[in-house]
Amino acid sequence: PDKREYIFTEFGSIKEIVPERGGLGTGLGLTFCQLAIEAHGGKIWVADSGPLPGACIAFTVPLPQKQQSTGPTQKHSA
């Protein structure tokens, strides 16, 4: 069954997705990734891994905008 929705839930066990891996993780890794990426205005999703086994996770994070100067900077000497 498709587990795309489940993969980002807290405490989700990989045991339900890939039993032979044993589900040894806490189930928080991708949840933390999602929180961090979305906090920076990005998106994270499960991408198509094609014929490869396992999940392919993709994400985007916007680049910070370069601040425009309002004019020449002035240096003051003491």
- Containing domain of residue 11, as a range? 6-60
Of residues 71 and 55, more confidence is placed in 55
Split into its structural domains, the chain has a count of 1
Is a pLDDT exceeding 60 seen at residue 14? no
Q: Is 71 within a domain?
A: no
- Which of 48, 17, 68, 50 lies closest to 29, judged by CA? 17
Q: Is 39 within a domain?
A: yes
Q: Is 65 within a domain?
A: no
Single pTM value for the model: 0.62
Q: Is 38 within a domain?
A: yes
Residue pLDDT, tens place only, 15-63? 555 555 555 677 788 999 999 999 999 999 988 878 877 778 999 999 9
Cα separation of 58 and 44, whole Å?
6
Q: Is 76 within a domain?
A: no
